[in-house]
């Protein structure tokens, strides 16, 4: 009986998180109200407060789930057979698709842009930059990125570029061109990152990107 109650409590909690994410996604942290989240979840304030004492706790739960899903993507792709450069491109493109399709990832991305109430937010960005930097170093070792470029600078540019593209795409087109803009970012970056004798990889990566979008 207790296990059934725990399962129900977990399911209720997850449903509230998903509902909160949908509201944060459309209204932002400041615009979202607990009343709107309760309405979206089809539950009561008592049930919501049992799991989350305040809106900040709900936002933190959405961000934690966002980070968990993104970490799973990074782990899966870095375990694949692709070279480091291919993995970097794949992670950015998968992230773009998840922002478009997954409300938790989309809401978490917006919350990361908006929230300043916790010191944990810069840690999330720094973690992603560090992970990307490690892959850039591996790509340099593989000969796929020119060795004269700072790995940290490349990683910072990739992560901040992806964040900026999704924000501008959201404002201008409702993210309808997000995949295209990420592909265009890589078309520009790869031509500057890849050594002249590896330029054939640029064509392969861009052709693959175009195929995935169609």
Q: Which residue from 188, 144, 147 is spatially nearest to 165, judged by alpha carbons?
A: 188
The dihedral built from the CA positions of residue 183, 155, 94 and 110, taken in this order, carries a sign that is negative
pLDDT at 124 over 80: no
Share of residues in the chain with pLDDT > 70 (%): 91
Instruction: Look up the pTM and report it.
Output: 0.85
**Superfamily assignment of 63-213 in CATH?**
Tetracycline Repressor, domain 2 (1.10.357.10)
Tokens of 173: 């087109």
Q: pLDDT, tens digit, for every residue of 65-75?
A: 999 999 999 99
Q: pLDDT, tens digit, for every residue of 135-169?
A: 999 999 999 999 999 999 999 999 999 999 999 99
pLDDT at 171 over 80: yes
Task: Report how far residue 27's alpha carbon sits from residue 40's, in angstroms, rounded to the nearest whole number.
Answer: 13
Domain ranges for the chain: 63-213
Mean pLDDT of the region 90-98: 92
Report which DSSP code applies to 197. Answer: G
């Amino acid at each position: 009986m207790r296990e059934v109650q725990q399962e129900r409590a977990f399911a209720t909690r997850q449903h509230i998180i998903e509902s909160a994410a949908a509201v944060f996604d459309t209204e932002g942290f400041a615009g979202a109200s607990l009343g709107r989240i309760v309405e979206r979840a089809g539950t009561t304030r008592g049930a919501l407060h049992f799991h989350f004492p305040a809106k900040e706790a709900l936002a933190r739960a959405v961000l934690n789930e966002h980070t968990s899903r993104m970490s799973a993507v990074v782990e899966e792709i870095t375990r694949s057979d692709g070279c480091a450069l291919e993995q970097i491109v794949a992670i950015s493109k998968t992230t773009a698709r998840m922002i478009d399709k997954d409300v938790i990832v989309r809401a978490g991305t917006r919350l990361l842009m908006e929230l300043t109430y916790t010191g944990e937010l810069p840690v999330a960005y720094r973690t992603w930059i560090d992970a990307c930097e490690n892959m850039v170093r591996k790509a340099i070792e593989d000969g796929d990125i020119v060795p004269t470029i700072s790995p940290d600078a490349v990683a910072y540019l990739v992560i901040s570029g992806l964040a900026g593209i999704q924000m501008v795409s959201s404002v201008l087109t409702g993210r309808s061109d997000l995949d295209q803009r990420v592909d265009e970012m890589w078309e520009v970056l790869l031509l500057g990152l890849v050594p002249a004798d590896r330029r054939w990889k640029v064509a392969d990566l861009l052709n693959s990107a175009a195929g995935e979008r169609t």
